[in-house]
Amino acid sequence: MPNAECRMPSAWWLLLRNRSLVLLTVTYGAVGYIEYLFFFWMHYYFEDVLHMGKEKSRRYSALLFLAMAAGMALGGWLSDRLQAAYGYRWGRAAVPVGGLLMGAGLLGVGVLVQSEAFIVLSLALAIAAVGASEAPIWTTAVELGGRRGGLAAGICNTGGNAGGLLAPVLTPLVSHWVSARYGLSDQSGWQWGIGLGCLIGLLGAGLWWWIDPTERSEGIRQ
């Protein structure tokens, strides 16, 4: 007979009572929101809102995702070095907090500037900064789970995708509502719709104040 510790409902319950894991999951939801915003709407924004043309829009969209991939690799490398220099908790938090803050700020800049080159550069740096938070978040989720690291990562990933699923819906809804409510242009409405991602990024960064990577759930320690 398996003991109570090993039964799946018990492991789920213990992990969901872990404050740091729950907040980390919400934070990853903010990351997912911004990443899905880019996946679903940036090509449309370039081509149909900013009227950059089909070919340019494709190239610029591809550039954004290459920047995100580079940011992911750089984030893991940088997180290890900051953790060694500043300790386990704050060194681990530095990259996701900094990445989400920078990503939110650069996303806001990207929808406000007028130069095509600065739009693409700002947005590429924004998604690279957000992508940099991926590695430390995943590592923290696994470590918070202890012997149930896989389940903890699964919970965190579910939160990331749940947050991401909101972006394809909320972005056009906010954009069209703002345009209709205040009589603004289509571009101005989309600036507000995309700008919602800035607020969500700030929320995700702020939650790290209460996330402790050393917190472990009782009963499933290493």
pLDDT exceeds cutoff 90 at 6: no
The pLDDT tens digits of the residues spanning 124-133 come to 999 999 999 9
User: In the predicted model, what is the mean pLDDT of residues 160-188?
Assistant: 96
Choose among 149, 105, 99, 107: nearest CA to 124: 107
Task: Indicate the pTM of the whole model.
Answer: 0.93
**Two tokens at 147?**
């012997």
Q: What's the distance, Cα to Cα, between the start and end of the chain in Å?
A: 22
Nearest Cα to 156, choosing from 11, 9, 26, 14? 26
* pLDDT for residue 4: 47
Per-residue confidence (pLDDT) for residue 88, from 0 to 100 = 87
pLDDT, residue 220, reads: 61
Residue 11 is predicted with a pLDDT of 83
- Please give the structure tokens belonging to residue 125: 């740096």
Percentage of the chain with pLDDT > 70? Answer: 93
pLDDT for 1 equals 45
Render pLDDT for 54-73 as a digit per residue (tens, 0 to 9).
999 999 999 999 999 999 99
CATH number of the domain located at residue range(s) 20-208 in this protein: 1.20.1250.20
Average pLDDT over residues 155-182: 96
Long-range contacts of 74-77 (CB under 8 A, 24+ apart): 74/128, 74/132, 75/99, 75/131, 75/132, 75/133, 75/134, 75/135, 75/136, 76/134, 76/135, 76/136, 76/139
Residue 22 confidence (pLDDT): 97
Residue 10: the pLDDT is: 77
Mean pLDDT for 100-111 is: 98
pLDDT in tens, 111-160: 999 999 999 999 999 999 999 999 999 999 999 998 899 999 999 999 99
pLDDT in tens, 21-63: 999 999 999 999 999 999 999 999 999 999 999 999 999 999 9
What are the domain boundaries of the chain?
A: 20-208
